[in-house]
Amino acid sequence: MNLEELNKIAIKMAAPGKGILAADESTGTIQKRFDAIGVANTEDNRRDYREMLFRAGKTMREHISGVILFDETIRQKAKDGTSLVALIEAAGSIPGIKVDAGAKPLAGAPNETITEGLDGLRERFVAYHALGARFAKWRGVYEIAQGNPSHNAIHANAHALARYAALAQENGIVPIVEPELLMDGDHGIEACETVTEWILKEVFQELFYAGVKLEGMILKPNMIVPGKKCAKQNSVDEVAERTVRVLKRCVPGAVPGIAFLSGGQSDVEATAHLSAMNALGKLPWPLTFSYGRALQAAPQKAWSGKTENVAAGQAAFAHRARMNSLAALGKWTPAEEKKAS
């Protein structure tokens, strides 16, 4: 492991005003997205859609530090024969890869999950590095419901995240460590804060035991928000204050950057919350974005699978990327959103 090189990559991933595009949807997940816009879920359509994003040169150069890819995508070539990885690199972004095999039922823990995919991961990292990946992502999933999450689920997923992260670093790949407490449910913001703090403390304990070097990783957590079905939806400022408070309690300053998931928030909500956090100032680490749907919903709809709509899709992508770039600097405002759109 070359920690100096890992640290350089991680710092670049969290560069000021830039964030990570999560384009790592599985074939099943993108099926739902394409169904919503009336596009057939074929390999060619998946390639054409992602090529549209990666060829948005100005947007990629100015606002996107890295792109998380799916196994199919990291091997795909554009219509002209250029690899999609080469398109990302040409824009000055870093190619990354999702390596987990998804959340599966956790034995002995009803209604809870464990993320699988550790078997053979060392060998897969060697292959992904050869394909151009310089960072990776692994997601652990937790839910507040019926007394859950249990310590069993929190510990099992933290242990898996740490084993994955150690293997990534061993192979010259920066791990994005993603423990996600879902927004599903009717729990209040206080429950989200308490459970997220528990999860993060367990994760960093396991990272320490596994020998993971904090200077060579990126954290991708959820924000502290109430459940979608909660009667009280808290203000942007309260979400920002609670989220930063939990992070300061749990995340060492050695971590080069924190890139939030949007987790089901609307495009504008995710942007507003991120900007409010950065506006607080005096933070130990850069706070940026690693959004999937919150960056892609608008361009997907504008594109709708039609060649003649590529420019419109890229324009929609440019808008959301710029808004989140401003948020990563603490400079986004509703007026800026309205003016730009």
Residues assigned a catalytic role: 178, 220
**Distance between CA atoms of 290 and 311, rounded to whole angstroms?**
23
In angstroms, the Cα distances linking 252 to 137, 204, 215, 219, 256 are: 20, 9, 10, 11, 10
Closest Cα to residue 163, out of 198, 116, 127?
A: 116
Helix (H) / strand (E) containing 278: helix 267-279
For residue 251, give every residue at least 6 positions away whose Cβ sits within 8 Å of its Cβ, in sequence order, or none: 200, 204, 219, 258, 284, 285
The answer to whether the peptide bond before residue 149 is cis (omega within 30 degrees of 0) is yes
Cβ–Cβ contacts within 10 Å for residue 333, how many?
14
In angstroms, the Cα distances linking 72 to 184, 217, 249 are: 29, 24, 38
Under a CB-based contact definition with an 8 Å cutoff, are residues 74 and 133 in contact? yes
Helix (H) / strand (E) containing 37: helix 27-37
Using left for φ > 0, alpha for ψ between -120 and 50, and beta otherwise, residue 143 falls in: beta
**Distance between CA atoms of 86 and 167, rounded to whole angstroms?**
25
Placement of tokens 């969290």 in the chain: 14
Closest Cα to residue 155, out of 202, 103, 200?
A: 202
Under a CB-based contact definition with an 8 Å cutoff, are residues 27 and 73 in contact? no
- At 201, which amino acid appears? K
